[in-house]
Structure 1
Amino acid sequence: MAKFPYIFTLFFLLTISFSIPSSASSLNANLTAYEVLESYDFPVGLLPKGVLGYDLDSSTGKFSVYLNGTCTFSLESYELKYKSTITGVISKDKLSSLSGIKVKVLILWLNIVKVTRDGDELDFSVGIASADFPVSNFAESPTCGCGFDCVNGIDVAKNGKSNRFVSSA
């Protein structure tokens, strides 16, 4: 008879633990990927417009962000390329173990592996080198294909031609 209360208690605890959602996942379910970035002290402009969704394990910070295909655009003298899935680990003022974002430096495509915030500066690391930019440069999300030089999805900086590097798949 002593085993019955133990088994009943174990069954009850398992049932409760699977039926009550964790508060972290409940909170995240209502936030957009851009709002999650802001909650970790990052500007929304680190992600391009059009994020379809994301997964976040708030206990570890591991995340995945989903776009509708690859996304390429130019900002200043840099060309950026986002894969359809971006992964990494997020914590306050730090994005690490990043995968899925590349920057073209001269003729080389380099993976951005870490982004850290220090006050009003963002430091982008490609492993062997890094560059700092003002946080204010990322107040808005760029548009795939034309960055911030868009009019109805057309890159006006390229004389009204659409960007041939953008994939819609």
Structure 2
Amino acid sequence: MSLLTHLLLTVFLVFIAASPPSTSAADSPTVYEALQSYGFPVGLLPAGVTKYKVDTATGKFSVYLNKTCSFTIHGYDLKYKTTITGTISANKIKNLSGIQVKVLLFWVNIIEVTKEGDQLELSVGIASADFPVDNFYESPQCGCGFDCRGKRSGELSFKRFVPLFQV
């Protein structure tokens, strides 16, 4: 083996050894695990998210669903668009876009979610509502919420929404 070949082989092996290991999608946390890493329960998002992106430096994120997603839970009609965006940090999601709740006759955007202790506050701007975190331990299903298997809503870990959005 010539000196040049030996030198090139050594440089190549050093380069390979110094390269960071590649990460596959299987190595990345799911969107639900990512939510939990910021202190939020998985039930803020419906089951079936196809992909997501989060910039860990800024907290800006995008979550993608194959189609719009709607369901009713305890009298609250919720609608998720195919793309949900916002900025996430520990216990706070702001500039939220893509999730709506029907209040009276109007669809309004949920623009902020804050977690304080065992309570989540969902804000639509001029109004907000507090809910126990344990209401969100499970992700609802598009189209049927928690009533997908003929069970009544609330028989699963999603207990109940009691407070109304208050001004």
TM-score by length of 2: 0.74
1:148, 1:74 → 2: CA distance?
A: 9
CA deviations 1:107-137 (Å, max 9, x no partner) are 1100000000000000000000100000000
User: Shift in Å at residue 46 of structure 1?
Assistant: 0.3
| Letter aligned with residue 68 of structure 2 | T
Show the counterpart of 2:32: 34
* SS of equivalent to 1:150: coil
| Larger radius of gyration between Structure 1 and Structure 2 | 2
Show the counterpart of 1:139: 137
RMSD: 2.4
Show the counterpart of 1:118: 116
Q: Percent identity over the alignment?
A: 62
Is 1:82–2:76 an aligned residue pair?
Answer: no
Higher helix share: 1
Show the counterpart of 2:54: 56
Change (3 A) 1:119 1:75: same
Any conservation in 2 of the 1:28–1:56 contact (CA below 8 Å)? no
Structure 1 residues not aligned, in runs of 5+: 1-19, 158-169
Structure 2 residues not aligned, in runs of 5+: 1-18, 153-167
User: Shift in Å at residue 77 of structure 1?
Assistant: 1.3
| Letter aligned with residue 116 of structure 1 | T
Match of residue 44, structure 1, among 42, 45, 48: 42
| Letter aligned with residue 50 of structure 1 | G
1:27, 1:143 → 2: CA distance?
A: 23
Show the counterpart of 1:108: 106
TM-score by length of 1: 0.74
* SS of equivalent to 2:81: strand
Show the counterpart of 2:66: 68
1:156, 1:43 → 2: CA distance?
A: 22
User: Shift in Å at residue 95 of structure 1?
Assistant: 0.5
Any conservation in 2 of the 1:125–1:131 contact (CA below 8 Å)? yes
